[in-house]
């Protein structure tokens, strides 16, 4: 048992070290491109983008995924990590549902992610 805990600890340390070493590359790509997106699906992706407004600067994160237990709906979360300006109250999460026949977005009044 002690042997497995030791191996697990080494594995966690290696993953943490790789994440630390990859951060400068991630930051450089984000600064040069303005955004980085993981996933090609418009309804399922993770996107990081630069926030460069007059009153605030930082990084934003948009996570779009399928809504749980509700078909034809996506749940989107927006988070902001600002180093200049005020970011309180700007983080949000919302639901967007689509018509199953035409695949067109439904009005926000009809987009409810709870079954």
**Residue 82 lies inside a defined structural domain of this protein:** yes
**Residue 13 lies inside a defined structural domain of this protein:** no
The whole model's pTM is what? 0.79
For residue range 76-95, list pLDDT tens digits in order.
Answer: 999 999 988 876 568 898 88
| 103 — pLDDT class (breaks 50, 70, 90) | confident
The whole domain housing 66 covers 25-110
For residue range 10-53, list pLDDT tens digits in order.
Answer: 999 999 999 999 999 999 999 999 999 999 988 899 999 999 88
**Residue 50 lies inside a defined structural domain of this protein:** yes
Count of domains for the chain: 1
Mean residue pLDDT of the chain comes to 89
| 70 — pLDDT class (breaks 50, 70, 90) | confident
**Residue 81 lies inside a defined structural domain of this protein:** yes
What is the side-by-side strand order in the sheet with 35-41? 35-41, 44-52, 57-66, 73-84, 92-97
Helix (H) or strand (E) segment spanning residue 115: none
**Residue 1 lies inside a defined structural domain of this protein:** no
Look up residue 107 and give its DSSP letter: P
Torsion region of 72: left, alpha or beta (phi above 0 gives left; psi -120 to 50 gives alpha)? left
**Residue 68 lies inside a defined structural domain of this protein:** yes
**Residue 6 lies inside a defined structural domain of this protein:** no
Helix (H) or strand (E) segment spanning residue 52: strand 44-52
**Residue 57 lies inside a defined structural domain of this protein:** yes
């Amino acid at each position: 048992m002690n042997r497995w805990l030791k191996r697990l600890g080494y594995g966690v340390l290696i993953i943490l070290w790789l994440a630390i070493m990859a951060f400068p590359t991630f930051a450089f790509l984000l600064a040069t491109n303005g955004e980085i997106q993981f996933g090609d699906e418009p309804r399922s992706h993770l996107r990081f983008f630069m926030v460069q407004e007059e009153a605030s600067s930082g990084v934003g994160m948009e996570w779009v995924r399928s809504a749980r237990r509700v078909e034809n709906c996506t749940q989107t979360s927006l988070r902001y990590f600002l180093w200049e300006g005020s970011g309180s109250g700007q983080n949000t999460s919302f639901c967007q549902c689509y018509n199953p026949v035409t695949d067109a977005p439904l009005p926000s009044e009809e987009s409810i992610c709870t079954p």
